[in-house]
Amino acid sequence: MSEKFEIYYYKFLLIIDRIFILPYKFFYFIFKNPVFAYFLGTFTLGFLAVLIGKLFLGSIFYLNRKYIKILNEELIKWYNLSVEALEKEDSEKFQLFNKEANEYFGKLFFLNIAQSISLLIPLPFVLAWLQFKFGEIKFFLPFSIPFVGNQVNYIFTFLVCYLLACMLYKKICKFLPIFRKIEEFIAICGDVQKEIKSMAEVLKKKKILNCCKIEKHKSIY
């Protein structure tokens, strides 16, 4: 069984090798420098991983949109009720409503974590190919990094390129029609702030009122 898996795994790597190697060949053709070609190719691969991850994330948000809407609506309802109970100084109802709001908040929180994992789906495939292609190559840095040293491998270089690719994506996603819509859709799914009453404002008002009562009480004496 393990031998068959290794055979299929090797065949899979050979298939994706034809695609993943293209940016490396392109940049080597342009610069004739293997180091430049490696880093620019790895950055390109990292950027493609970001784009594919965002497509997965947008698709999952779209499939779960109705469930997310229900959770958001329930969170808004119970949270606002808890704020109203606080305004009326009804501690029993406040605790009941706040407990319900926390439950729906927890569901949304863990759902968002589970959905965000889809961003990382391309990474195992990319890292597997990099290990297959550049696993034996070591890079010597002109400086030493704590716990790493001055010698790094494909994992370190890819992670650096991937983080830079994430930063680039944040800068240019608004200029990419499909990804701009994905970001807008994700923002809409998670935006409940406009409809949630501010508990901080209620507490602030209560504090002011309490201070006024104290001052009035002092003035009597």
Q: What is the pLDDT of residues 11-47, one digit of tens each?
A: 888 899 999 999 999 999 999 999 899 999 999 999 9
pLDDT for 211 equals 44
Range 175-198 burial, b when 16+ CB lie within 10 A, else e: eeeebeebbeebeebeeeeeeebe
| Confidence category of residue 135, pLDDT binned at 50, 70, 90 | confident
| pLDDT of 133 above 50 | yes
The mean pLDDT value of the chain amounts to 82
Q: Which two tokens stand for residue 4?
A: 């068959």
End-to-end CA distance of the chain: 89
- pTM, two decimals, is 0.78
The stretch 56-77 carries a mean pLDDT of 87
Q: Rounded to an integer, what distance in angstroms lies between the CA atom of residue 188 and that of residue 198?
A: 19
Q: What is the pLDDT of residues 169-201, one digit of tens each?
A: 999 998 988 899 888 888 777 665 455 555 555
Q: What range defines the domain where residue 17 resides?
A: 2-220
Q: Rounded to an integer, what distance in angstroms lies between the CA atom of residue 143 and that of residue 152?
A: 11
pLDDT for 217 equals 41
% of the chain surpassing 90 pLDDT: 33
Please, are residues 121 and 135 in contact by the beta-carbon 8 Å criterion?
Answer: no
Q: Rounded to an integer, what distance in angstroms lies between the CA atom of residue 5 and that of residue 11?
A: 10
| pLDDT of 160 above 60 | yes
Residue 108 CB neighbours (<10 A): 19
Domain count across the chain? 1
Read off the DSSP letter of residue 196.
S
Q: What is the pLDDT of residues 78-95, one digit of tens each?
A: 888 888 887 777 788 888
% of the chain surpassing 70 pLDDT: 82
With a CB cutoff of 8 Å and minimum separation 6, the contacts of 12 are none
